[in-house]
Structure 1
Amino acid sequence: MAVRVAINGFGRIGRSVLRAALSDGAGDVEIVAVNDIAKPEMAAYLFEYDSTFGPWKGSVALENGALVIDGVRIRLTGARDLASLDLSDIDIVMECTGLGGERSFAEAGLRAGAKRVLVSGPSDTADFTVVLGANDEKLGPEHRIVSNASCTTNALAPLVRLVEAEWGVETGWMTTIHCYTGSQPTIDAPGAEYARSRAAALSMVPTTTSAQRLLDVVLPGIAGRIEGAAVRVPVASVSAVDLTVMTRARPDVATVNAALAAAGGVIGRTDRPLVSSDLRARPESIVMALPETRVTSGGLLRLFGWYDNEWGFANRMLDVAARMGSL
Structure 2
Amino acid sequence: MTVNDDVFTNWMQREEIAESMIPIIGRLHRERDVTVLLHSRSLVNKSVVSILKTHRFARQIDGEELSVTETLPFLQALTAIDLGPSQIDIGMLAATYKTDDRGLSVAEFTAEAVSGATGPNKQERRESRDVVLYGFGRIGRLLARLLIEKAGSGNGLRLRAIVVRNSGSEDLVKRASLLRRDSIHGQFQGTITVDEANSRIVANGHEITVIYSDDPTSVDYTAYGINDAILIDNTGRWRDREGLSKHLRPGIAKVVLTAPGKGDVPNIVHGVNHDTIKPDEQILSCASCTTNAIVPPLKAMAEEYGVLRGHVETVHSFTNDQNLLDNYHSSDRRGRSAPLNMVITETGAASAVAKALPELKAPITGSSIRVPVPDVSIAILNLQLARETSREEVLDYLRNVSLTSPLKRQIDFISAPDAVSSDFIGSRHASIVDAGATKVDGDNAILYLWYDNEFGYSCQVVRVVQHVSGVEYPTYPAPAV
* TM-score, reference length from structure 1: 0.95
Q: Which moved more, 1:50-59 or 1:224-233?
A: 50-59
Which of 401, 423, 426 is residue 278 of structure 1 equivalent to?
423
Q: Which moved more, 1:189-198 or 1:202-211?
A: 189-198
| CA positional deviation for 1:29 | 1.6
Matched, 1:91 2:225: no
Which of 43, 46, 54 is residue 178 of structure 2 equivalent to?
46
Which of 328, 335, 357 is residue 190 of structure 1 equivalent to?
328
In the alignment of these two chains, the number of paired residues is: 326
The residue that corresponds to 2:30 in the other structure is: none
**Quick one: which amino acid aligns to residue 231 of structure 1?**
I
| CA positional deviation for 1:4 | 1.4
Contact 2:173–2:194 (8 Å) recurs in 1: yes
Q: Name the CA distance, whole Å, in 2 between partners of 1:314 and 1:112.
A: 26
| CA positional deviation for 1:24 | 5.3
Matched, 1:234 2:372: yes
| CA positional deviation for 1:18 | 0.8
Contact 1:3–1:322 (8 Å) recurs in 2: no
| CA positional deviation for 1:30 | 1.5
Q: Name the CA distance, whole Å, in 2 between partners of 1:252 and 1:28.
A: 44
Matched, 1:214 2:358: no
**Cα deviation per residue 1:261-313 (whole Å; 9 max; x = unaligned)?**
122121111111310001000010001111111112x5310101110001011
Bigger fraction of residues in helix: 2
Contact 2:148–2:158 (8 Å) recurs in 1: no
**Cα deviation per residue 1:112-163 (whole Å; 9 max; x = unaligned)?**
4300000010111453111112211211112210000000000111111111
The residue that corresponds to 2:411 in the other structure is: 267
Matched, 1:58 2:190: yes
Contact 1:87–1:109 (8 Å) recurs in 2: no
**Quick one: which amino acid aligns to residue 83 of structure 1?**
T
Q: Name the CA distance, whole Å, in 2 between partners of 1:30 and 1:288.
A: 33
| CA positional deviation for 1:223 | 4.4
Q: Name the CA distance, whole Å, in 2 between partners of 1:36 and 1:30.
A: 18
**Quick one: which amino acid aligns to residue 265 of structure 1?**
R
Bigger CA radius of gyration = 2
**Secondary structure at the counterpart of residue 80 of structure 1:** coil
The residue that corresponds to 2:341 in the other structure is: 203
Q: Name the CA distance, whole Å, in 2 between partners of 1:105 and 1:42.
A: 29
Q: Name the CA distance, whole Å, in 1 between partners of 2:238 and 2:264.
A: 9
Question: Any gaps of 5 or more consecutive residues in structure 1?
Answer: none
Which of 136, 145, 148 is residue 10 of structure 1 equivalent to?
136
Matched, 1:321 2:465: yes
Contact 1:127–1:146 (8 Å) recurs in 2: yes
The residue that corresponds to 1:299 in the other structure is: 443
Matched, 1:69 2:203: yes
Contact 1:84–1:112 (8 Å) recurs in 2: no
Q: Name the CA distance, whole Å, in 1 between partners of 2:382 and 2:214.
A: 44
Q: Name the CA distance, whole Å, in 2 between partners of 1:171 and 1:240.
A: 20
The residue that corresponds to 2:163 in the other structure is: 35
**Secondary structure at the counterpart of residue 201 of structure 1:** helix
Q: Which moved more, 1:134-143 or 1:153-162?
A: 134-143
Q: Name the CA distance, whole Å, in 2 between partners of 1:58 and 1:164.
A: 42
**Secondary structure at the counterpart of residue 21 of structure 1:** helix
**Quick one: which amino acid aligns to residue 210 of structure 2?**
L
In structure 2, do the counterparts of structure 1 residues 25 and 306 end up closer, same or farther at CA, with 3 Å as the change threshold?
farther
Which of 284, 288, 297 is residue 159 of structure 1 equivalent to?
297
**Quick one: which amino acid aligns to residue 161 of structure 2?**
A
* TM-score, reference length from structure 2: 0.65
| CA positional deviation for 1:71 | 2.2
The residue that corresponds to 1:245 in the other structure is: 383
Contact 1:180–1:232 (8 Å) recurs in 2: yes
Bigger relative contact order, structure 1 or 2, given CA contacts below 8 A and separation 6+? Answer: 1
Q: Name the CA distance, whole Å, in 1 between partners of 2:288 and 2:272.
A: 13
| CA positional deviation for 1:45 | 1.7
Which of 439, 454, 458 is residue 310 of structure 1 equivalent to?
454
Q: Name the CA distance, whole Å, in 2 between partners of 1:249 and 1:30.
A: 48
Contact 1:100–1:121 (8 Å) recurs in 2: no
**Secondary structure at the counterpart of residue 249 of structure 1:** strand
**Secondary structure at the counterpart of residue 375 of structure 2:** coil
**Secondary structure at the counterpart of residue 191 of structure 1:** coil
**Cα deviation per residue 1:51-71 (whole Å; 9 max; x = unaligned)?**
111232432221122111122
Contact 1:127–1:143 (8 Å) recurs in 2: no
**Quick one: which amino acid aligns to residue 31 of structure 1?**
L
Measured on the aligned residues, the alpha-carbon RMSD in Å equals: 1.7
**Quick one: which amino acid aligns to residue 164 of structure 2?**
D
Report runs of 4+ in structure 1 exceeding 4 Å deviation.
24-27
The residue that corresponds to 1:132 in the other structure is: 270
| CA positional deviation for 1:235 | 0.1
The residue that corresponds to 2:212 in the other structure is: 78
Contact 1:271–1:289 (8 Å) recurs in 2: yes
Identity %: 29
Question: Any gaps of 5 or more consecutive residues in structure 2?
Answer: 1-126, 402-407, 472-481
